[in-house]
Structure 1
Amino acid sequence: MNRGALPNFRDVRAMVAHRNSENTTVLVAQLERLGLKVSCKWPVDALEPTGFNVLFFDADRGYDGQFAWKPGSAPVPLIALMGGEAPGRIEWTLGQRPAAYLVKPLRPNGIFSALVIAFHEFEQRRKLEQKVAELAARVRARPAVLSAVTLVQTCMKIESQEAFDLLRSEAMRLQVSIEALCERIAASGSLSPLAEQQGISFPKNSGREKQRPEIRSGGQ
């Protein structure tokens, strides 16, 4: 990562969930030097993810129920503040899925790096989870896609690849996913959703001639 790609944290809101100590003094001072707006809170119970963009939390005194979200599903980047190495503490901290960590006693050096890593890691996780969700949706929609392709193929007497290409083109024109379009067609059991809702007419073939769908403009 080059210098030009590094984020600017000015006006980013940080929450520090840690008791008042020398560590918090160092952390808050450095965060404010970096331009962040910092709030501190302790004790913390069922902390809601509102009013801040990144959370620094005390891994040495953390407990279940401290945050309002489920462990491992924080809606903002988490940065763990770790002082001890007790196995139970490490296990609990890992369960929160922090995007970065800092080792106590805290020093100004390393805080900026932890912020950069935390935001980068959080964004990469978000993109990966979104991609996994999209792939899962595609897998669930496969029966609907097959049903819609077969229906178009039968009605228009064209090959399966042509039917799929036709549906894909229509999905792009309508600015929806092909899975969503196919689910709509499969649910109706006909091509009527396209004909009735989108102004598309799928004519029946006569003889061996292959026909393309006729697109009717809204003004006709």
Structure 2
Amino acid sequence: MSSGARRLFDDLRTLQVVVIHPPGEDRTVLEEQLRRIGCPVRPVWPFPAQLPADADVIFFLVGPELRTAGNWCAADTHATLIALSDYENPTALKMLVDTQAHGVITKPYRSTGILSTLVLARASCGYQRRLEGKIVKLEDAIKARRHIEKAMRILIDTHRLSENDAYEHMRSRATSLRVTVGEIATMVIDAHEAMDKLGLGRPKPS
């Protein structure tokens, strides 16, 4: 076994896996195969009202119980969601799409295919989380840029600076105070708003 494959299996063995499914042969097949893989497994039934908070992977039955469980979506958990589908009709497919599951296993459940579904679902979940992280950073960068531009506009209007001089002034102050330009922008905006409240926000025209 290669080091990469061994690391993959070692990672799988650390996962806390929850199987939300009624007792019976189908659940037994899932549990036994997951335990062969090395995953600690916790069966849960009836369907819980909330997503289990301590799980890394959640196998869950798509059925009438899901509709009464409240919020049940990949966006609401860090766990990997793998749907267990009894049948394929428009209602079940709609519920499946709404959960944004990272993988799906359909009946009859077999020992073959569970490992590959688990690995691919974990990879899909990780990729989705990385994309979400990049989106958050991008949104934060856009907000920070707008914040800085607002502070620059204040300096331009109140101190008759050029756009370049306004930014360079904030950058220079950030360097000397060992803070970010964004923090300097906050100082400028806060100071300007405080002066406005005192009726001293803008210089009187000569």
Q: Percent identity?
A: 26
> Structure 1 residues 30 and 144, CA, compared in 2 at 3 Å: closer, same or farther?
same
For residue 11 of structure 1, report the CA deviation from its aligned partner: 2.6
| Mapped contact 2:60–2:81 kept (Cα < 8 A) | yes
Residue type of the alignment partner of 2:104: Y
Pairwise CA RMSD of aligned residues? 3.2
2:22 matches 1:16:
no
Find the counterpart in structure 2 of residue 105 from structure 1.
Answer: 108
For residue 26 of structure 1, report the CA deviation from its aligned partner: 1.2
| Mapped contact 1:55–1:78 kept (Cα < 8 A) | yes
For residue 29 of structure 1, report the CA deviation from its aligned partner: 0.9
What does 1:35-184 align with in structure 2 at a 5 Å threshold? 35-66=38-69, 69=71, 71-75=73-77, 76-150=79-153, 160-161=163-164, 163-164=166-167, 167=170, 170=174, 173-174=178-179, 178-184=181-187
In structure 1, C-alpha distance between the alignment counterparts of 2:67 and 2:143, rounded to whole Å? 34
Residue type of the alignment partner of 1:146: E
User: 5+ residue gaps in structure 1?
Assistant: 191-220
In structure 2, C-alpha distance between the alignment counterparts of 1:54 and 1:168, rounded to whole Å? 46
> Structure 1 residues 78 and 184, CA, compared in 2 at 3 Å: closer, same or farther?
farther
- Compare the two structures and name the one with the higher helix fraction: 2
> Structure 1 residues 185 and 113, CA, compared in 2 at 3 Å: closer, same or farther?
farther
> Structure 1 residues 70 and 48, CA, compared in 2 at 3 Å: closer, same or farther?
closer
Which has the larger displacement, 107-116 or 95-104? 107-116
Residue type of the alignment partner of 1:4: G
Q: Deviations over 1:66-93 (max 9, x none)?
A: 25x4545231110001131111101111
